[in-house]
Amino acid sequence: MPSTPNFQSNPYKGARPRCWIRIRLVGLDGSTYERDMLADSGSPCAVILGADDLNLLSHGTAARANTNFGRMAGGWLRLAMPEFALTDLVRGFGSNEVLKAVQTDCPDFCGLVGLPLLRMLEYGGNRTSFWIRELV
């Protein structure tokens, strides 16, 4: 009998209710860090954090990106979400400008996750919440 995929469901939050997910990342010292991230399927970046978080969590440098928020530093981030089969390195970026923008909706947000990360999962929403589950 197939197992049920793991599931995370979060009620929309923020001044303008926004969808979000909680991700876990591994730092260089092996510590795990949880971050609440705005989910933005329109973003071509897997993860965008504030510059301090990118410095804390980066496992190596990656190419920079030029965006409408300015130039963003790149780094490789290790996902720590085995319940969703997400333990790989993903290319992420650091931008305090993006951080400020997402925190205008909700100060809890530590950045955003975009389509490259969301495509590693099943995701959706309804009137009250946004959910992710393991891609099966």
**Token pair belonging to 76:** 């490789």
Share the mean pLDDT of the chain. Answer: 95
CB 74 within 8 A of CB 57: no
Q: How confident is the model at residue 1 (pLDDT cuts 50, 70, 90)?
A: very low
Task: Please indicate, yes or no, if residue 114 is contained in any of the structural domains.
Answer: yes
Number of domains the chain is built from: 1
Higher pLDDT, 129 or 135: 129
Residue with token string 């809890």: 108
Task: Please indicate, yes or no, if residue 74 is contained in any of the structural domains.
Answer: yes
Answer yes or no: is pLDDT of 33 > 80: yes
Task: Please indicate, yes or no, if residue 1 is contained in any of the structural domains.
Answer: no
Answer yes or no: is pLDDT of 10 > 80: yes
Which CATH number fits the domain that encloses residue 67? 2.40.70.10
Task: Please indicate, yes or no, if residue 130 is contained in any of the structural domains.
Answer: yes
Residue range 37-82, pLDDT digits in tens: 999 999 999 999 999 999 999 999 999 999 999 999 999 999 999 9
Instruction: Quote the pTM value.
Output: 0.94
Query: By residue range, what is the domain housing residue 126?
Result: 18-134
Q: How confident is the model at residue 133 (pLDDT cuts 50, 70, 90)?
A: very high
Residue range 94-112, pLDDT digits in tens: 999 999 999 999 999 999 9
Task: Please indicate, yes or no, if residue 103 is contained in any of the structural domains.
Answer: yes
Residue with token string 């009137």: 127
CB 36 within 8 A of CB 22: yes
